[in-house]
Amino acid sequence: MGFGIIIPLLYSYGKKFGVTEQTIGLLTAAFSISQFFATPVLGSLSDKFGRRPILIFSLVGTCASFILFGLANSIIILFAARILDGITGGNISVAQAMISDISSPKERAKNFGILGSAFGFGFVIGPAVGGLLSQLGEKVPFFFAAAIAMVGVLATIFLLKETHDKDKRAAAAKKGGFTFKSLITVIKKPVIGTAIFIGFLLTMAQFTMIIGFQTFSVDNLKLSPTQIGLFYAGFGVTGILMQLAVPAIKKVIPSQALVLLLSTICCLAMMILVGFATGLVLFAIAIGIYGLFNGLRNPMLNAIIADRNEESERGEVMGVNQSYASIGQTLGPVTAGLITAISIHSVFFLSSLYILIALLFSIRLKSKESKS
């Protein structure tokens, strides 16, 4: 929710400090790049020292970054705040590791779906809350986001139990410290590496689509900021609904790789359809169905990854997975910005290309799952 509150306000707030249409991309990327390097380190530390202390550290860093953003008086401070949040932004991968710790293989996809829907719900209502709070003062949303992060810190301290026991932490400590070679060695693992690469491609496709979504909504459909916000919220809600439906889907289709494969096919078909859309109705229907099936991506991939790694290195592997997702979040908008020189619709076809490649790897993943 805190993330959702501040993201839509970054540009308007940063303009008075010299943020431009060009530097807003760098400001956004600063977080993802920092997270790329820091998340697997934090995940590895959670394997050795436990999930709770690392989660507390991450949330304290997020709280401090929001406060720093609210107190900023220059563009340098804005960048420092986003870099700090990225460096300490291991809370997602640590939370995923905790879910994996307490879930049986049969329950993992369901529990990852619940975690994903919680994240999605916060991200959907965050922009609305930020917009309302900004009427009380431009700095108010950032301090409110900091307060939310501090509530997370207190909840972790007083309500959350450690899920990674001493024996598992000792086993992780014997393996030595994290090295960035793990970013390569993990991706080379037959099933895990394929799943992580698929996640990277689908994340890049989504963030490519978001750039096209924004430009098409404004330049072609002439929607107002309020209408765009409601449209985007609807897109988010469809993904949440699908994530909540994961238990029912798993009863019908037990294979996680098959669910991923079928959902990727649907996403590809809808993104191609979006590329041909010229009016609101077809655009809205295709985007809505894409958002629905895109909601299955993270629960399925996270469950596949969690099922295939050792408990003593679960945090590290989840961190590596989040690192590649961070790069996808960075490269998607960058490549989308470059291809808009051709046309707005070309952005959706570029997103389709990424999904097509992911589909080919999904077929390969399904084959590997059947053999193992």
Residues 6+ apart with CB under 8 A from 154: none
Residues 6+ apart with CB under 8 A from 236: 120, 123, 124, 291
Q: What is the pLDDT of residue 25?
A: 67
What CATH number is attached to the domain comprising 315?
1.20.1250.20
Tokens standing for residue 112: 């990852």
Q: How many CB atoms lie within 10 A of CB 367?
A: 12
Q: Which residue reads 């989504």 in tokens?
A: 206
Inside any domain, residue 166: no
Inside any domain, residue 146: yes
Inside any domain, residue 231: yes
Q: How many CB atoms lie within 10 A of CB 279?
A: 9
Q: What is the pLDDT of residue 312?
A: 67
Q: What is the pLDDT of residue 276?
A: 93
Measured CA to CA, the distance from residue 363 to residue 372 in angstroms comes to 15
CA proximity to 71, closest of 155, 143, 165, 144: 143
Residue pLDDT tens, the chain, 372 long: 887 787 767 767 788 888 776 676 678 778 888 888 888 888 888 888 888 999 999 999 999 999 999 999 899 999 999 999 988 876 788 888 888 888 888 888 888 888 888 888 887 788 778 878 888 888 898 999 999 999 999 999 999 999 887 766 666 556 655 566 777 878 888 888 999 999 999 999 998 888 788 778 878 888 776 677 677 777 778 888 888 888 889 889 888 899 999 999 999 999 999 999 988 899 999 999 998 999 888 889 988 888 887 776 777 788 888 888 888 988 888 888 788 778 888 989 999 999 999 999 999 998 877 665
Measured CA to CA, the distance from residue 85 to residue 65 in angstroms comes to 5
**How many separate domains does the chain show?**
1
Inside any domain, residue 172: no
Measured CA to CA, the distance from residue 238 to residue 338 in angstroms comes to 29
Inside any domain, residue 220: yes
Q: Is the pTM of this model over 0.75?
A: yes
CA proximity to 109, closest of 96, 120, 128: 96
The phi and psi torsions of 126 (rounded to 5 degrees) equal -55, -50
Measured CA to CA, the distance from residue 107 to residue 158 in angstroms comes to 26
**DSSP symbols for 52-112:** HHHHHHHHHHHHHHHHHHHT--SHHHHHHHHHHHHHT--HHHHHHHHHHHH--HHHHHHHH
Inside any domain, residue 140: yes
Inside any domain, residue 223: yes
Inside any domain, residue 24: yes
Provide the residue range defining the domain that includes 77: 2-160+181-371
